[in-house]
């Protein structure tokens, strides 16, 4: 099944690296006119030009900045609300400023993005919005209080916005990635002491790639998902489906960053 976005404008926040950049590449390959929005420090114009897209500096926590960026892109057919941050911080070490910053980017930033995008899409009576949430939207991984709270809140945005925007034929969905190899998680992937026991609880026995999440994003944005709205697509190698460790050294071995049957 080929997904064709020819003639469609796609806007991706946080698109200069990781999952956002992989999604940008996938949409460009599918024929879309892609705009990458990211912080100036991430050089979105340079990154976008390298993949045949266009880029603009924008801060999702700054409403005026985001509105100016969308004014430049024009009405989008697809918006990927992907900008986000995450950092380990235990409950007792979570300061108010850290809490506020995390929610400002991960939750309020998505609110701004969805609200601005919806206003531009409504007159067109069509559109697709895909939000990057997380498996942490569902669980309570220790050390990530602010991150977990922000990602859980995104699911409420998805469901409510899907309900309100459905009459305008605007679909709203989320992808919920598990542990994906990006700049934020590279340190974990480089440490076998971390990923070996972690991947024991993932039925596929490994972490994911940004490209695998991007494929899910493109699908949800496409006409192939034309009757799908208000839901989440979990991209986690089966982790959320597992109750106990899947992998056992009696029958498997950990080789090249993944568990394999002997």
Question: According to DSSP H, which parts of the chain are helical?
Answer: 18-29, 44-50, 63-73, 96-103, 109-121, 145-165, 186-189, 192-199, 210-221
Residue that the structure tokens 């089966």 belong to: 238
Sign of CA dihedral 112, 233, 122, 55: positive
List residues with catalytic annotation: 147
Q: 3-class secondary structure for 144-209?
A: EHHHHHHHHHHHHHHHHHHHHHHHHCEEEEEEEECCECCCCCHHHHCCHHHHHHHHCCCCCCCCEC
Distance CA 195, CA 179 (A): 10
Contact 141, 120 (CB under 8 A): no
Give the pairing of strands 252-255 and 258-261.
antiparallel
Task: Report CA torsion sign: 10, 14, 16, 21.
Answer: negative
Q: Token match 């206003």: residue?
A: 119
Which of 236, 250, 158, 228 is CA-nearest to residue 203? 236
């Amino acid at each position: 099944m080929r997904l064709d976005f020819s003639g469609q404008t796609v806007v991706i926040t946080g698109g200069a690296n990781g999952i956002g950049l992989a999604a940008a590449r996938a949409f460009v390959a599918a024929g879309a006119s892609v705009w990458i929005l990211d912080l100036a420090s991430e050089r979105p114009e340079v990154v976008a030009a390298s993949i045949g897209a266009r880029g603009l500096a924008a801060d999702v926590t700054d409403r005026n900045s985001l509105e100016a960026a969308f004014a430049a892109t024009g009405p989008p057919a697809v918006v990927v609300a992907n900008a986000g941050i995450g950092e380990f911080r235990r409950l007792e070490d979570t300061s108010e400023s850290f809490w506020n910053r995390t929610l400002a980017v991960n939750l309020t930033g998505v609110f701004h993005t969805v609200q601005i995008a919806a206003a531009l899409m409504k007159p067109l009576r069509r559109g697709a919005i895909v939000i990057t949430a997380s498996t942490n939207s569902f669980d309570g991984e220790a050390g990530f209080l602010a991150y977990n709270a922000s990602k859980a809140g995104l699911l409420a945005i998805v469901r409510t916005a899907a309900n309100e925007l459905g009459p305008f034929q605007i679909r709203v969905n989320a992808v919920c990635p598990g542990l994906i190899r990006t700049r934020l998680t590279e340190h974990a992937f480089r440490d076998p002491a971390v990923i070996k026991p972690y991947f024991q609880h993932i039925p596929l026995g490994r972490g994911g790639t940004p490209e695998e999440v991007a494929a899910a994003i493109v699908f949800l944005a496409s006409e192939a998902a034309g009757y799908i709205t208000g839901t989440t697509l979990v991209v986690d190698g089966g982790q959320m489906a597992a109750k106990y460790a899947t992998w056992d050294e009696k029958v498997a071995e950990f080789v090249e960053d993944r568990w394999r049957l002997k």
